[in-house]
Structure 1
Amino acid sequence: MSAVNTILRSAMMAAFLATSASVGTMMLATPAYAQEEDDGPREPPPTRRSDTLSDRVYRVIAEVQELMNPTEEGQEPDLAAAKRELDSLNERYDTLNDFEKATMLNFYTNYYLGVDDIPNALATFERILTIEDLRPEQRLRSLQSLGQLYASEERYEDAIRTLEEWRNLSADENATVFNVLALAHYNLQQFPQSIEYLLSYMDMLRAEGREIQRNVYSLLNVMYIEQENYESALEVTKTMVALFDEGADWRNLAAIYGFLDREPQRIQTMELAYVKGYLQSEGEYMNLAQSLAGLDAPIRGIEILEDGIEQGIVEENGDNLRRLTQMYIIASEFEAAVEPAERLVEIVDDGEAWDYLGYIHLMNRDYASAVEAMQTALDRGGLENTGDVQLSLARALVELDRYDEALTAAQRAQQMGANNAGQFVSFVESSKARYEALQEQKERAIEYYQS
């Protein structure tokens, strides 16, 4: 049974049992012919009518009422004894008038619901509705109860038919009827009809000054999303955020902004949810951090991702450290990027990770470390563009005046089609020539002064 049906069933059972006492009291208002003076003889009963209880039936029903709902404090209901009394009365069913039949059968429904015998409860409500001279208020009450019970048993078409009959006969609308009709149509995936009834239900609650529960808004929201009516879903979710301020509502609001391609609002909403402490999963932290990086706010993305790692929400694995390192590079925070990049190569030890570390060292002008990391990247392999790594290696080697190695790396980059590699080969060659010329001048100067 679905969660919606479980809620409906529980609420309906509580309502039936809570109202049984009041219904019984109304039915058991002592008729004139059942009253008796203490100091005088009993008056003869009036002519039998179809809308009254005889003295004999009244006494049985009063006993059943007391057994089901004891008036004495601390006394427990005795449903089994109540059932025996009803069975005894039922043996004379054909001698009862229509009001007596309806009264007895109503107490049967209370009994069956009390012992969770739903099939017999349904059958008894159906039997009540066959009574020819059933009072209008009893017919309405039975139709509503039967419709609710059909819905709780997932007989949604029967529930809708029965409750629509109730609406045709009733002079007034009823919030509970609207609610059950909405749930029945929802379970049949008839969303337009369900939305109409649910909105009517909500309107009635507002008119009566009653609170609308969060799950009602949630159901309405689900149906709008199912219909891809995201604008309506947006308004409902904004209301939920304002009324309930729950994490799920903030996350849903961000998702709906995503459906509507309103990326700045989606990211802003997710960041507010983060500030409120409503992000719960690694995926949510990663999504927000990377979205901020893509929105030219990589520093904020780095803060959120590192906070997720520190809290243990985001696992410190290769994929996540790789993304963190990439965000540091996007932010041009090269000094701070060293630490996560070094953690990355410790975990994954692949070519790409070492390439990141080498590039970061190069940007920090730590050329010796850059050369070591880039050579390791080339050794590990699996690089997306080996030519670019060779070119970066050549740049670092030039800065260390290791021109022969730099020229070799630049030529390999040129062979692999790296952009601007040919120009860099020429640059290395000219730089080498200048360096060698300077070195030669130095040596001559030293020889001159030593001679």
Structure 2
Amino acid sequence: MAKFNKLATALLLSFGAVAIAPAVNAADKCPIELRKSKAMGQSTGKKIQKAFKAYGEDLFDESIAILLEANPKNDFDKASVARFLGNLYAQKEQYTKALNQLKLAADTNVLGGTEHADTLRAVADLSMQDKNYKQAIEHYEKWMTFTCKSDVKVYTLLAVAHVQLKQWDDVIVNADKAIAIADKPIKDLYNAKVNAYFNKKQNKNAIKVLETAVQLFDDDGALWRQLAQFYLATENYKQALATYDLAYKAGFLESASDITRLAQLLSQGGSGYKAAKVYNKHLKSGLIEKNAKSFKQLAVFYQSAKEFKLAADNYGEAAALDNDPKLYLKQGQFLTLSERYGQAVNAFNKALKANIKNRGAVHVELGRAYLELKQYKSAYKSFQLAMKDKKSARTAKGMLSYVKEKAKIHKVSL
């Protein structure tokens, strides 16, 4: 019966009472205050009272049937019946029928103040649910004009509807209105503004919104990550790094791509060793997949930090996983830089065995490694092989002369 009383009270206002307006200037009053209720026709009134009785006994179908038998003669009676039917259909979750009836009642525009306002709002809400965003916007705006109310939820729903219609300026306007009157910050409104500015290609404005949002919702990792990404998009690498670093320390970076991006920014900012340390930690933990690409990336970070031994080790890991001759060459070069010439020879030979294309360059590198090991015959042979490649022939020719001199000094027969 409580449900019956609530609906009955609202609907009875549409035909059983007359609103008495205070004696003030009409120009100063809101439309809802100027709207007077009307008396319903006797025949329609009886049908509605009968429908109320059935509704109070939870006989929804019977109540609907009674109302469908009504034959209202004027617009007010038609609107009253339609409004009652709309509410009944909504409670039965027959939302299309509910929307049709409530829209008929709203568009007639004759119901009493409160009833018309509630009907406009119901049409707007059901239109949103039906994804009829233009109709929802129209009726939310009619509701605000009629009631003279500024409502946070309505402005929020308007912003959402304009997002769906890609009307980005209207998204921003309505989100700002909601933000201005909200009792507490609403995250979705800031997200809507960021989305709008992004689609308007106004990244700097999106950044301003996010800079405010991360202060209001400082425990939301997604906002921090998004802010860092916008800094990257505007090539503000210093701020991007600072933001990613804060997010990392707060535990907000949870994906391999975010860790990689942080490490890359650290490396670009001159902190190659820290980049390698962060990246390696999450490579070991399994967050970053252990594949050739990952080991190659770690090698690059160590290379940036001038940790040539560690760079060589990780180029080797990457090369072994894919049998990549170019990576074996890289491994050999960094083994040479870290003065591990025997291991470098092994890496260069693996590059040749894996059919590297620029074989002449590899033979030159191999020859130099043999030279450091004082293996002059092997060095001489490597430079001879390098002579067969036009790109490396000039270098190899010079090195052959050098090897001959060294062999002569050390009395080694070539």
Q: Shorter-chain TM-score: what band?
A: 0.7 to 0.9
How far off is 1:157 after superposition?
Answer: 2.4
* Residues 132 and 435 of structure 1: CA distance in aligned 2, closer, same or farther (over 3 Å): closer
Aligned positions of 1:80-95 closer than 5 A: 81-85=59-63, 87-88=65-66, 91-94=69-72
Quote the offset at 1:371 in angstroms.
1.6
Q: Is 1:435 equivalent to 2:410 in the alignment?
A: yes
Q: Is the CA contact (8 Å cut-off) linking 2:292 and 2:322 kept in structure 1?
A: yes
Could you tell me the TM-score, scaled by structure 2's length? 0.80
- Please report the RMSD computed on the Cα atoms of aligned residues, expressed in angstroms: 3.4
Amino acid at match of 2:230: I
Change (3 A) 1:53 1:216: farther
Q: Per-residue deviation at 1:125?
A: 1.1
Would you say 1:170 and 2:170 are equivalent positions?
A: no
> Quick one: distance in 2 between partners of 1:394 and 1:424?
8
The answer to whether the aligner puts 1:246 opposite 2:220 as a matched pair is: yes
Uncovered stretches (5+) of structure 1, i.e. residues with no partner: 1-17, 33-48, 68-77, 441-451
Residues 125-164 of structure 1 aligned to structure 2 (within 5 Å): 125-129=102-106, 133-164=110-141
Distance verdict in 2 for CA 1:388–1:103, change over 3 Å: same
1:388 & 1:179 partners in 2: Cα distance? Answer: 65
| Aligned counterpart, 2:350 | 376
2:400 and 2:173 map into 1 onto residues whose CA distance is: 74
Aligned-partner Cα distance in 2 for 1:253–1:146: 38
Q: Given residue 397 of structure 1, which amino acid in structure 2 is its aligned partner?
A: Y
In structure 2, distance between residues paired with 1:152 and 1:432: 88
Deviation by residue 1:352-406 (Cα, 9 ceiling, x = unmatched): 23223322332332322222221222222225x4444322222221122222322
Q: 1:144 aligns to what SS in structure 2?
A: helix
Structure 1 CA distance for aligned equivalents of residues 402 and 169 of structure 2: 71
What is the number of residues matched between the two proteins?
Answer: 387
2-structure distance, mates of 1:361, 1:133: 88
The alpha-carbon deviation at position 291 of structure 1 amounts to 3.3
Identity %: 23
2:268 matched to 1:290? no
Q: Which residue of 2 aligns with 1:192?
A: 169
Q: Deviations over 1:99-131 (max 9, x none)?
A: x76555444322211221112111221232355
Shift, 1:23, TM fit = 5.8
Name the CA distance, whole Å, in 1 between partners of 2:333 and 2:190.
Answer: 52
Aligned residues of 1:350 and 1:381 also touching (Cα < 8 A): no
* Structure 1 residues 165 and 420: CA distance shift in structure 2, 3 A: same
Show the counterpart of 1:394: 367
Give the direction of change, closer, same or farther, for the CA distance of 1:320–1:89 in structure 2 (3 Å limit): closer
Please tell me whether residue 229 in structure 1 is matched to residue 202 in structure 2.
yes
Structure number with bigger Rg: 1
Deviation at 1:260, TM superposition (A): 0.8
Deviation at 1:65, TM superposition (A): 6.4
What residue in structure 2 maps to residue 348 of structure 1?
322
- Inter-partner Cα distance in structure 1 for 2:131 and 2:399: 76
- CA 431–125 in structure 1, closer or farther in 2 if over 3 Å, else same: same
Q: Any gaps of 5 or more consecutive residues in structure 2?
A: 18-36
Shift in CA distance, 50/330, structure 1 to aligned 2, threshold 3 Å = closer
Distance 1:403 1:200, change over 3 A: same
* CA 91–27 in structure 1, closer or farther in 2 if over 3 Å, else same: same
Q: Any idea what the Cα deviations from partners look like across 1:36-70, whole Å, max 9, x if unmatched?
A: xxxxxxxxxxxxx9348989678657646644xxx
CA distance in 2, matches of 1:19, 1:435: 108
Distance 2:8 2:342 in 1: 93
Structure 2: how far apart are the matches of 1:371 and 1:90? 94
**Letter paired with 1:228:** K
Matched, 1:265 2:239: yes
Cα deviation, residue 184, structure 1:
2.3
